[in-house]
Structure 1
Amino acid sequence: MSGPVVVGVDGSRSNLTVVEAAARQAERLGVGLELMQVIGWPSGGTPSAVPSWDAGRTGGRASSSGALAAAERCAHSAAPGVRISREVLVGEPGNVLSAESYRASLTVVGSNGTRGHGTLRDDSLAGRLSARATGPLLVVRGRPNPAGPVLLAVHGTSTLREAAEFAFAEASLRGADLVAVHLRPAVATRPYGESGAAAAADDEDFALAETLSELRKRYPDVTLRCRRPQGRSRRALVEASGDSQLLVVGVRGRSRFGGGLLDPVGRTALRQADCPVALVRC
């Protein structure tokens, strides 16, 4: 995609780390960076579930917001060559950013709203966007290792293709290795003794081999390693994230009711990973 990287700005000190990560991502992708501040509706005004698309929209230079000015200085320092624009919108942040995500190459937010051991609340902005965003979502969290690999969580054929392509592209842009962590499904028993998990694993193995073979040809500069953890595979994924610079997780498409279908792997990544997490809608 050629759309901008869109990053939510909230004025907090921790948010500057998010802005910095978004600026560097825009630099890698060769696209512009859009700093977006969403202001809630005044008391007694229009309900926050309905965003405004004209009230408060400022474009590049009209906004005098101190938060946006600080964010722009931070972004320029991190990626001097990136074109930066600023916008102020009125509405509920999750709704507004999810609606804007359809035109973005990437939407970036922080993992603020954490509690105990860095876990993420479902009602945080990142938690809401994980179910609503149309395009790829980057949640900045943890302590990434800039020299570490990009991780790809392989957990079902329905979440493989788009996520794998995103992970290969990121590894290539970052000059990093790619580690595909193949998470086995939980054991289920079919009639006549056939293992449902074994049958699903066979399907996944075939899809994984076919997809990775094609992508390795497209990205010959990326060194791919595959890992098949035993036992608690999601725990192994979290542990591997401690020495990685990015974790890529595929999530199933939006439901007809407007919400996403974030599975246990996606929830584990958002709540426990020790590096930024990219959620890719599949």
Structure 2
Amino acid sequence: MAKPVVVGVDGSSTALRAVRWAMEEARRRGAALRIVHAVEPPALRFTGGFAESAGIVTKLRAEGERVVAEAAEVAGALPRVTTVIPAAAAPNALLAESATAQLVVLGATGHHAFPALLVGAVPAVVVAHAHCAVAVVRGVEQAASAPVVMGIDGGPYSTAVIAAAFEEAARRDVRLIAVHSWSDADLERFAGPARPYFGWEPVAEAERRLLAENLVGWQEKYPDVAVDRVAVRDRPRHLLLEWSKKAQLVVVGKRGRGGFAGLLLGSTSQALISHAHSPVLVVHRLR
């Protein structure tokens, strides 16, 4: 049996949109949908010790039952829908679920403790630490014919990104846009007046070749998926954010080839889950 698609809900409208998106994704994958709403027992403290919180927990769980019931009603068209209300912090609950899921789906924002963040605290933590791919549902809904866009940089996540993007394009029966970009930021900083005279064509040819090499064999494996190649001199996050305006899904790796080894989430994936105009699928390395 296929691993389930997990969706986290918190009662917000963005979470319900994530449920609808996850429902369609589960249907395409032939998977069950598992709806998760975490209830974290509060630690109430006063000068004499800890206050009795049983009544508050009961109210929180009752609210959780309402939240998952509303989400289950939205997903009612699916034959296999389950709900769970773990007693844990939301990130911990979703990370535990990710160990046995094929995909975790989250809304871009919602009810969380840090409203000033551009992306909710829960999505950022889950994307960085999950055991499976994570989709953050944001932006406006595009036409069903809109393409899937993938960002390729030749780094350690590229194979996983390509595999996921081809599969998503095949499921949706749409074109796949393979985007590869490179930045001249270092040259802008150090070349000074010599920059206008730098010959970019050898670099451009090498980067186009890198993109082509990364795609070898994939179009044979997915002959029905039409692929457009885009290799340009630009900053990856800027280019992918622009493509997200006309994509139904953008697929990227958790980190790129230029990221620091200690970082759990790369700057491009962070920018996309914060600012993209479409849902973003962040994948991990193939195991």
TM range (shorter): 0.7 to 0.9
Structure 1: gaps (5+ residues):
46-62, 254-258
In structure 2, what is the Cα distance between the partners aligned to 1:204 and 1:90?
Answer: 49
Q: Does 1:69 align with 2:72?
A: no
In structure 1, what is the Cα distance between the partners aligned to 2:82 and 2:130?
Answer: 21
State the secondary structure of the residue aligned to 2:281.
strand
State the secondary structure of the residue aligned to 1:103.
coil
1:25-73, Cα deviation, whole Å (9 max, x unpaired): 000000100011111123259xxxxxxxxxxxxxxxxx98111111111
**Amino acid corresponding to residue 98 of structure 1 in structure 2:** L
For normalisation by structure 2, the TM-score amounts to 0.77
**Amino acid corresponding to residue 177 of structure 1 in structure 2:** R
Contact 1:36 1:87 in 2 (8 A): yes
Aligned to 1:104: 101
Change (3 A) 1:155 1:120: farther
Identity %: 32
Aligned to 2:58: none
Q: Does 1:30 align with 2:30?
A: yes
State the secondary structure of the residue aligned to 2:13.
coil
**Amino acid corresponding to residue 73 of structure 1 in structure 2:** E
Contact 1:150 1:244 in 2 (8 A): yes
RMSD: 3.1
Q: Could you tell me which of 127, 130, 137 is aligned with 1:130?
A: 127
Contact 1:5 1:104 in 2 (8 A): yes
**Amino acid corresponding to residue 134 of structure 1 in structure 2:** H
In structure 1, what is the Cα distance between the partners aligned to 2:71 and 2:83?
Answer: 9
Aligned to 2:274: 271
In structure 1, what is the Cα distance between the partners aligned to 2:91 and 2:156?
Answer: 25
In structure 2, what is the Cα distance between the partners aligned to 1:14 and 1:187?
Answer: 36
Deviation at 1:156, TM superposition (A): 3.3
Aligned to 1:151: 149
For normalisation by structure 1, the TM-score amounts to 0.78
In structure 1, what is the Cα distance between the partners aligned to 2:272 and 2:212?
Answer: 24
Contact 1:109 1:140 in 2 (8 A): yes
**Amino acid corresponding to residue 246 of structure 2 in structure 1:** D
**Amino acid corresponding to residue 67 of structure 2 in structure 1:** A
In the alignment of these two chains, the number of paired residues is 249
Which is greater in Rg?
2
Moved over 6 A (4+): 197-204
**Amino acid corresponding to residue 73 of structure 2 in structure 1:** R
Q: Could you tell me which of 174, 177, 180 is aligned with 2:178?
A: 180
Aligned to 1:14: 14
Deviation at 1:198, TM superposition (A): 10
